[in-house]
Amino acid sequence: MTNTAIHKTALALAMSALALPGCATAQADTADASADFREREPSEEIVYFVLPDRFENGDTSNDTGGFEGGRLDHGFDPTARGFFHGGDLAGLTARLDYLENLGITAIWFAPIFQNKPVQGPEGNESAGYHGYWVTDFTRPDSHFGTREEFAAFVEAAHARGMKVYMDIITNHTADVIQFTEGDDTGFAYRSLGDYPYSTRGGPDGAPINPGFMGHEDSSEENFAKLVNPNYAYTVEVPEAESDVKVPAWLNDPIYYHNRGSTTFTGEDSRMGDFAGLDDLFTEHPRVREGMTEIFESWIADFGIDGFRVDTARHVDPGFWQHFVPAMEARSEVVGIPNFHIFGEVYKDVPDSGYIAQYTRRDGFPAVLDFAFQAAMRDLLGRETGTVVLSEMFDGDVLYEGGEEAARAMPTFLGNHDMGRFSTLIRADQPDISQDELLSRVMLGHAMMLSLRGSPVIYYGDEQGFVGDGNDQQAREDMFPSRTPDYNDNDLIGTDATTAESNFDEDHPLYRLIAQFSAIRRGHDAFTLGRQQVRHYEQEPGFFAVSRFDPDDGTEYLAVFNTADEQRSANVWLSYEARAFETLAGTCPAAVPAPGSAAFTLPAFGWALCRVSEVAE
């Protein structure tokens, strides 16, 4: 059989698996989920990550955000991928049926705070459609809606048993502060050693800030002596933007590091401006107090259920040691027992060690599982052996709380920064066919929804989106797009383009995710149960784990084939297992010998099996 025929056979088998009855059974088991959604643990959530601007335009009257002028004033230009396109809170609320049918239990959206509409050098401007250039932390961006519309969205989601996760930023604000010497230096970072707080413009400069003992002493007494921000650069704030930030204390340059741009390594990783954005002095007690007050208010005012924390590794550990307990305490007071905080610690290697340090030293309950993402790309894009995933899971012991804590790590395949999973696989395999690309992406989602962690679906992946790259190229519109850079993309699993509305509940990826979501929600083993790796190989091929019901210990086997051809293997399992119930794919009816189950899977195939009979 040719490779093309194999891939088409695999796709046909995968699609036939979507018709199995396990989906309906699991759906029935969770019919009352909305009644007690607050009691669900983070590992029980199936998360949908969405950029509101790119999802659905429910209210065209807010497209320009109430700003006058042209696109460089209000930021709205749906033909340009770097500008506002019109999606909003009204659109998100209107599409909750679509998300509920997909099996989503938590919605995480990119920051919705009021942004500087447009920034960037002349000729290279772009807009704050993504939400990361905040000027006002107390209200939604006017392109998205009002505080009342946000409250309505949260209430509507909660009524369906869906949690709401906000994407928050404590590292920086919009780019307002300028440096007199910046144009001459290219805004290069100026280090602590070369530009101490005690002198102006270098060790030989005039003395300033007498008595200040440096940023490592975060006491109010110490920081009361830091009064001059001109130690590294001469700070300037344009008059027109002197009071643009809210709360008002954010307008004072003393609350920023003011050292120039980060190179993302070493000292400047925490103290440099991230892509020119004003870097908050998070060691300062006023900054810690102020940011805590801001985000406590969102919990108290709207009853949201969690925070994804942007650029977590660019903030000093002391800030998080103060901030995280404060958020947990506030959520407990207002009756949110399982408030979820997870930090973004970007590291694209299949090794948990680097990201785990942020759960131990900084105190994050969870971090985005970049190690899982990197392992999945290695498996399905770079065709490494399935051992890479086994070794990655071995690292779960490194997290604070160990393997139990690892169950709450949000797992994902691609995102708005690195690009879509489909795009990454195509980058690794430029000559891949559309059929094979779909098969690999389907397998990736089947694995993510079956393995430990809280799976995150990146909006549009369920509609077969395939971007041209990362960042702006991975942020297509779900509603009919007017962006030529998006509309020429060749999507998988469909003949549609992004020029059409893409909310097709019959798309093969949508159906796959809905099926596996229902299975996951219907069986606690996949959300709360212990995971044990049962089989891996040094080449592409089988990977298998057991998941165990946390109450009665019932064993489930999840078996996957990452190879581009049919494979067979004997998979180790508990010795008392005798027979299986099939949840998805094809499971053997019985075990041939205690401790061993024989599986044959098609290219990029899977099987989810529940041990239905054990030895007396």
The 10s digit of each residue's pLDDT in 284-336 is 999 999 999 999 999 999 999 999 999 999 999 999 999 999 999 999 999 99
Question: Tell me, what's the pLDDT at 15?
Answer: 46
Q: Tell me the sheet residues that pair with 340.
A: 306
Q: Can you tell me the distance from the alpha carbon of 283 to that of 323, in angstroms, rounded to the nearest whole number?
A: 12
Q: Can you tell me the distance from the alpha carbon of 171 to that of 265, in angstroms, rounded to the nearest whole number?
A: 16
Question: Tell me, what's the pLDDT at 286?
Answer: 98
Q: Tell me the sheet residues that pair with 235.
A: 179
Is residue 247 reached through a cis peptide bond, with omega within 30 degrees of 0 on the bond before it?
yes
pLDDT above 90 for 251: yes
Q: H-helix or E-strand containing 538?
A: none
Q: Can you tell me the distance from the alpha carbon of 473 to that of 426, in angstroms, rounded to the nearest whole number?
A: 14
Question: Tell me, what's the pLDDT at 405?
Answer: 97
pLDDT tens track for 488-514 = 999 999 999 999 999 999 999 999 999
pLDDT tens track for 330-376 = 999 999 999 999 999 999 999 999 999 999 999 999 999 999 999 99
**Distance between start and end Cα atoms, the chain:** 44
The arithmetic mean of pLDDT across residues 193-222, rounded, is: 98
Beta-strand pair 134-140/113-115: antiparallel
Q: Can you tell me the distance from the alpha carbon of 84 to that of 129, in angstroms, rounded to the nearest whole number?
A: 5
Question: Tell me, what's the pLDDT at 34?
Answer: 55
What percent of the chain has a predicted confidence (pLDDT) above 70? 94
pLDDT tens track for 129-139 = 999 999 999 99
Q: How far is CA 60 from CA 22, 112, 240, in A?
A: 41, 17, 29
Task: Give the pLDDT band (50/70/90) at residue 35.
Answer: low
Question: Tell me, what's the pLDDT at 31?
Answer: 41
The arithmetic mean of pLDDT across residues 467-472, rounded, is: 97
What percent of the chain has a predicted confidence (pLDDT) above 90? 94
Q: Can you tell me the distance from the alpha carbon of 104 to that of 92, in angstroms, rounded to the nearest whole number?
A: 13
Q: For the chain, what is the mean pLDDT?
A: 94
With 0.85 as the threshold, say if the pTM is over it: yes
Residue 417 annotated as catalytic: no
The arithmetic mean of pLDDT across residues 161-187, rounded, is: 97
Question: Tell me, what's the pLDDT at 5?
Answer: 38
Task: Give the pLDDT band (50/70/90) at residue 143.
Answer: very high
Residue 344 annotated as catalytic: yes
Residue of 344, 369, 524, 555 with catalytic role:
344
DSSP assignment of 387-452: HHHHHHHHGGGGSTTHHHHHTTSEE-S-BTTTB-HHHHHHHH-TT--HHHHHHHHHHHHHHHTTSS
- Could you tell me which of 86, 76, 77 has the C-alpha nearest to residue 52? 86
Residue of 283, 305, 310, 476 with catalytic role:
310
Question: Tell me, what's the pLDDT at 616?
Answer: 84
User: Residue 217: which residues within 8 A CB-CB, separation 6 or more?
Assistant: none
Tell me how crowded residue 348 is: count the other CB atoms within 10 A of its CB: 11
pLDDT above 50 for 203: yes
